[in-house]
Structure 1
Amino acid sequence: MGKGNKDDRLSALPDDILVNILDRLNVPQAARTSILSRRWSQLCAKLSRLIISALDFLPEDVSHTNISVDEVVKINAAAAEATESVLARRNPGEHTIHLLSTTFYLRDDVPIFIGNAVGHAMSTHLVENVEFSIRTGKDHVAEIESDDELVTWAREFMLFFDACPNVFGGLTSLDLGNLRFGESGISSVLTTCKRLKHLHLYSCDSGDGSTLQVEHANLSVLCIVNCRLAQVKLNWLPQLTQLAFDGWIDFQDPLVLGHVPLLEAVCLTNVGLSFNKMVKLSTFLSSTSVRDLKLGFCSEMIWVQPECPTESLASVFRQLRFVNLVELPEGYDLTWTMFILEAAPFLKELYMTVWDHVCHMELDEEKRKKLQYSENKGVEWGSTASDFQHHSLVTLVIFGFESEDYFVSYVKRVMAAAVNLEDVFLYSRLELECGNCQDLKPTRFPWTKRQKISLKKRITAGIESFAIIHSNKTIRADHDLKRRHPRCSLV
């Protein structure tokens, strides 16, 4: 502030710029600015993005992962009050709401209260996108005490759903978790939510071994995580572009793709057990042509069956540009991934994370035997022709790299085959951040200059390649973003 100047530079900005700044905040943060002056208080009524989450009302000393029932009741009530208050301040029809997003719990009459407030806003304002993220208070399957609990929550949700049909008819995004519906429950939701574009289901089903059949004219993003389904049939989804399928109970045709002509980004994640049938991607993704593919292995058995180049596999991979292989088990030959290069001639980027992520793994030996985890997690593949060449791959990124022979031989093999490869980025396992566990295993990563020179000689011996090998101490921001949140970032 200049001497004698009562206004700071921020307040001197035009309203549209200040509103743009406030739109990047959640509602509680934006509301706090209203105490600055009358002008700031009026700006809140012009916001185009209203993001109201019960979790934003948690006390600072309370973790999001450890919320008591009393705290849930309090923050849920605060979210309901904030929703009504924020919407009541707006002049009908004056400013478009591009996004109205609310996160709340299935508790008491709060959902219906929020539903009525949102419904009134939809009838009096121009609201382009409406999102509901509905929680039960049990965010992980391990926290669920019984299947009856899932049924009870589903009934609570359906009471809310039946009370606010017009609101659900205007929803564009719906996030549900830990609900066991009746036989036609999910179908009823899809039928009513005609404008729905994004649907995220976590631990939702109609009973163990049930089948989910999906038909919707506008759905573009579908995420199915840890739902105990025998089969998912995507019968007719003409606008679907992104699919995430995480955790299925059987490998006998768990996913059937019908009319999905625009599908281009797919995430598939599962824990492979010893009795499971391996997946052939040519069958799993038949009739599609994806551009972005993410495969997750949860540090357990490789569940993908390497395939020799065939017409059906080539059809599936003909548009493939980006592949991300997540949490491959440590210590196993990586040569099998070469079949992806053989089948995807236009692949440009290959990312992989090799990491035994112990806080996500079952470590108890007795439980592993009982649940039939496989002790041999690798898969063999030896059909790649010695003269095979790939002309499109430009970037190879490996997280969890070690100066072990199986790593070195794999990088050498890719560099020899990918004749236009430009960069190879190698990152240590220690650079993989995890807030829940501490990796104490020793790592063999080339930290010193001498070690890096030695590694480069080992990799390039006997091959010709112009690719630059980067063994960095810190993960580049753009690489970390793609590792954590590639285009198919639904799980």
Structure 2
Amino acid sequence: MDNILCRGSKRMMKLPTMLSHFFLSINSIPGQYDRARVFYLSDFLRINSAVAHVTDTILSTRSPEITIIQLKIRFILTQSDCSRIAKSVARAMATHKVGAAEFEIIPEKFSKCSPADLLVHAKQFNDFFGACPDAFAGLTRLWLNNMRFGELDIHNILSTCKLLESLRLSHCDSGFNSMLQLEHAQLTELEVEFGKFEAVELTCLPKLQLVGYKNWFNSHKYPLYFGFVRQLSKLRLAKSGSCSTGTLMFSQFLGNVPSISDLHLDFQSEKIWVLPESPKLLRPVLSNLQHVNLDHLPEGCDLAWTMFILEAAPSLKELCITVWDHWCVMARDEEFRKRNGYCEKADVEWKPHAPDFKHKNLVKLTIYGFQPDGIFVRFIRCVMEHAVNMAEIPLHDRKVCLRCGDLDPKMKCPSRYPRNADERMQIIEELGMSLPAMVRFLS
């Protein structure tokens, strides 16, 4: 591949100028709380200056006849470096020889930002943005981090970035309980992570295909409102639910987007925040659903409630379920959990509305975190009873996180995933499978 990963070394300057893909990056996020923070951050700022220098050199010396297919630049928000990068990119764009162009912009202080920090970062970005509009006008992807904008700032950004296809906002908002309204003719992907928006309103985004929202702030109202989004097909939602987290009723939440075909819900090993509803209410909004991924379901809880999706989504082809108490990202301190309203594990109530219904399109059920107990066996048998054309059931052990290895092993029950042929055959017999080849043990 003809990509460039810039690390500030002099040898980068000797690379040929005939390349068509460039990734110029500070490589990782500056550490803010290391004991040697001053030196650590200064190293990143030095590398950031090198990124600006290499960007300027490469873009100013290459032949204007050669098209840059992809240009991705990841840099820290410092005035002199930003200006140099943007001016170099703007000059290259003026030749009409730049295809996809992406900025990922990181403020100097990246973690544990105060409200004042967020305002300062937004002010720095707005100054940069206002000084270099030509560079932003040609961007196709933009990723902003840790900024608190004014009421019209994001609207102004989108108005200038007319070619923008992907927008990602991490820890960005316009203040507590602010409303973000989005309109854009070209945007196809939107990702929002954290932030303090009361809601994000997708007013008019005719080409939008994918929306991701992680850890929305407001607990009682819907995080997204769907306006004119006729091509929206992929929806990804992730939240660590507490006792006060509102429950999503898909019949209302997705009432205006029956085009969703790919749904990914991540519960982050905490409360289930969707309500199983009757197929009569849900079928109009889930009729086109083909792929569902239910991630980080809490261990030890019944899985039967997920059957409401099968009842209401006749076009569903694949269902993937991950059961995992991911301990290194969960809140484990009991006092902290009580203080912040975390719930104890509880089963979600569900009763089949049509006990004898048959699902003709589901062909694959994938389970991560499979354990040889009644919860999983009952669930698989239930799915098999209704999915008459099932062809494949891959069963995986718990997912592995290297950080979790630092925890006391006594805190977590060891996996009992079947390892040998006898254990696996016993599971197949418990499932009552007439075709053992359908079940595959993959861990």
Bucket of the pairwise TM-score, normalised by the shorter protein: over 0.9
Change (3 A) 1:284 1:66: farther
8 A Cα contact 2:215 2:238, kept in partner: yes
Equivalent-residue separation in structure 2 for 1:272 and 1:253 (angstroms): 13
Q: Which residue of 2 aligns with 1:274?
A: 243
Equivalent-residue separation in structure 1 for 2:26 and 2:373 (angstroms): 48
Matched, 1:120 2:100: no
8 A Cα contact 1:57 1:78, kept in partner: no
AA paired with 2:266? G
Equivalent-residue separation in structure 1 for 2:203 and 2:436 (angstroms): 47
Of 189, 206, 228, the match for 1:221: 189
Shift in Å at residue 34 of structure 1? Answer: 8.0
Residue deviations 1:284-326, cap 9 Å, x none?
Answer: 1222121111001000000010011125x21221111111111
8 A Cα contact 2:173 2:197, kept in partner: yes
Q: Which residue of 1 aligns with 2:294?
A: 325
Map 1:11-410 to 2 at 5 A: 21-23=1-3, 25-26=4-5, 41=15, 44-55=16-27, 68-92=40-64, 94-139=65-110, 143-249=111-217, 250-288=219-257, 289-311=259-281, 313-410=282-379
Cα RMSD of the aligned pairs, angstroms, is 2.3
Equivalent-residue separation in structure 1 for 2:23 and 2:195 (angstroms): 27
TM-score (norm 2): 0.92
Change (3 A) 1:389 1:467: farther
Shift in Å at residue 55 of structure 1? Answer: 1.3
Equivalent-residue separation in structure 1 for 2:264 and 2:28 (angstroms): 31
Equivalent-residue separation in structure 2 for 1:340 and 1:99 (angstroms): 40
> What is the SS of the residue equivalent to 1:360?
coil
Shift in Å at residue 232 of structure 1? Answer: 0.8
Shift in Å at residue 138 of structure 1? Answer: 4.6
8 A Cα contact 2:249 2:275, kept in partner: yes
> What is the SS of the residue equivalent to 1:160?
helix
Equivalent-residue separation in structure 1 for 2:216 and 2:312 (angstroms): 26
> What is the SS of the residue equivalent to 2:57?
helix
> What is the SS of the residue equivalent to 1:426?
strand
> What is the SS of the residue equivalent to 1:204?
strand
Q: How many equivalent residue pairs?
A: 431
**Any gaps of 5 or more consecutive residues in structure 2?**
none
Change (3 A) 1:158 1:72: same
8 A Cα contact 1:404 1:444, kept in partner: no
AA paired with 2:146? N
8 A Cα contact 1:173 1:199, kept in partner: yes
Shift in Å at residue 420 of structure 1? Answer: 0.6
AA paired with 1:434? C
Of 451, 467, 470, the match for 2:440: 470
Equivalent-residue separation in structure 1 for 2:435 and 2:382 (angstroms): 11
Residue deviations 1:122-177, cap 9 Å, x none?
Answer: 113511221100012455xxx32411011111111111000001111111110001
Equivalent-residue separation in structure 1 for 2:86 and 2:268 (angstroms): 38
Residue deviations 1:51-86, cap 9 Å, x none?
Answer: 11121799xxx9xx9992112211111110110111
Equivalent-residue separation in structure 2 for 1:258 and 1:69 (angstroms): 43
Shift in Å at residue 465 of structure 1? Answer: 6.2
Of 427, 434, 437, the match for 2:396: 427
Equivalent-residue separation in structure 2 for 1:129 and 1:380 (angstroms): 48
AA paired with 2:2? L
Q: Which residue of 2 aligns with 1:486?
A: none
Residue deviations 1:102-135, cap 9 Å, x none?
Answer: 1000124111111111111111351122110001
Of 412, 416, 430, the match for 1:458: 430
Change (3 A) 1:186 1:381: same
8 A Cα contact 1:320 1:346, kept in partner: yes
AA paired with 2:271? M
Equivalent-residue separation in structure 2 for 1:192 and 1:72 (angstroms): 30
Residue deviations 1:166-197, cap 9 Å, x none?
Answer: 11111111000100111211111111111111
Equivalent-residue separation in structure 1 for 2:38 and 2:22 (angstroms): 26
8 A Cα contact 2:249 2:274, kept in partner: yes
Equivalent-residue separation in structure 2 for 1:349 and 1:132 (angstroms): 35
> What is the SS of the residue equivalent to 1:158?
helix
Q: Percent identity at matched positions?
A: 39
Equivalent-residue separation in structure 1 for 2:230 and 2:45 (angstroms): 44
Shift in Å at residue 253 of structure 1? Answer: 2.6
Equivalent-residue separation in structure 1 for 2:394 and 2:354 (angstroms): 25
Equivalent-residue separation in structure 1 for 2:261 and 2:437 (angstroms): 24
Matched, 1:437 2:408: no
Shift in Å at residue 333 of structure 1? Answer: 0.6
